[in-house]
Amino acid sequence: MTRQTFFTFSRTLSHAAPRRSVRLNGAARLMGAACLALASCAGASLAQDNPFAGNWVLDKTASVLTFQTVKNNAVVENSKFASFTGTIDETGLATIKVQLDSVDTNIDLRNVRMRFLFFETYNFAEATITTQLDAALLEGLKTRRVMPYHITFNLEMHGISKTLETDAIVTLASDGLVSVASAAPIPIGVKLFGMEENVLKLEDAAKVKILPSGSVSFNFVFSNGELPASALAAVAPQSTAVETKGNFDVEACKGRFEILSRTGAIYFKSGSSKVETDSAPLLRTMSEIANRCPDLKIQIAGHTDSDGHEAFNQRLSEARAEAVLEYLTGIGVDAGRLHSIGYGELRPVAENDTPRNRRLNRRIEFSVYDG
């Protein structure tokens, strides 16, 4: 029996020590599962000449994608993704998309940390799993109803594409309905996707140790029959951050400003105060949040490391903060609500003894301004 495709998107975060396990694990496994489900669905329609014919769509109302992480070596946390979509086309190409900003940890600010510090959804909005299915792989499902599948799939996340594999259980509920579930929790390494630093950011922000291992579980249900309008609507990719609609309260605003300040995603060339174009995604996100905090004034503070002359660093920090203020004003934030200030090298958050620590000290911080 040839292999099918599923998606393993749990992460075995790796860096030194048993410190960093992130919600990422969940993300990756989830995706694998989706692909699996897609393959299964195709099997349900074996009575046709082309088992992939028809409108095979993930039934979001019946599907679940969860992940588990461990912090401080003892506390297990269960989370999920609220929005993921899947289809199988007539050639057997299975595609699953997970909207990463729909990560739901059951705590608002933890969701925000996951989105902005770990997944960096302002740059990488979704993860995609694909696999090319073969009708021959699905022979026997019509008769046996339940089959184990070993799957190979491609996972693209954080700008990196990897080929992975895992095991799942496929169940044919009816000719037009198939369930694909994880055979066991699935691990994956964040190092595969270049996200080790993202784990460190989470640890710094939450002040916890994150175990470098996590697991993902899933149950994906696919249908080639009529689905409710709500399920069909889920086929279209969308931004679905799990948070309060409308304006934020003061604490939610403060929390978001603090988290955005930790991203390190506002860029300048050495010695320059010109905002680099790579900063645009984060600053657009900042403007959206600022406009949902309409009653608050926002301070933009510039900081540098200790390299160079102190007087130059002071002027540079002031100029960079002012440049960010002008940028935000230019994309729709009321200038009357913004205040810029520079602190030069006077307020480091780490020793200036390593490249990473110096990078942490070169930063733009956002906070509520009372002046």
Quote helix, strand, coil % in the chain, to nearest 5.
35, 25, 40
To the nearest whole number, what is the mean pLDDT of the chain?
Answer: 83
Amino acid at 112: V
Check pLDDT > 80 for residue 366.
yes
> pLDDT category, 178, cuts 50, 70, 90?
confident
pLDDT tens track for 127-169: 998 887 777 766 777 788 888 888 888 889 999 999 988 898 8
Whole-angstrom Cα distance, residue 62 to residue 242? 19
Contacts of 233 (CB under 8 A, 6+ apart): none
Provide, rounded to the nearest whole percent, the portion of the chain with pLDDT above 70: 81
Reading the block at residue 94, the tokens are: 């299975």
Provide the whole-model pTM.
0.83
At 9 the pLDDT is 36
At 23 the pLDDT is 39
Range in 11-15, 128-132, 337-341 the model is least confident about: 11-15
Give the SS3 label for residue 366.
Answer: strand
Q: What sign does the CA torsion over 364, 270, 330, 244 have?
A: negative
What are the chain's domains? 24-233 (2.40.128.110), 250-368 (3.30.1330.60)
Give the SS3 label for residue 153.
Answer: strand
Reading the block at residue 326, the tokens are: 């002008």
> pLDDT category, 47, cuts 50, 70, 90?
very low
At 128 the pLDDT is 93
Radius of gyration of the chain from its Cα atoms, rounded to whole angstroms: 23
At 45 the pLDDT is 41
pLDDT tens track for 342-351: 999 999 999 9
pLDDT tens track for 66-101: 888 888 989 989 999 999 999 878 887 888 899 999
Whole-angstrom Cα distance, residue 167 to residue 3? 10
Q: What sign does the CA torsion over 360, 364, 369, 371 have?
A: positive
Count of Cβ atoms closer than 10 Å to residue 229 Cβ: 8
DSSP-assigned letters across all residues of 340-359:
EEE-TTSS-SS-TTSHHHHH
The Cα angle at residue 118 between residues 114 and 119, in degrees rounded to 5: 90
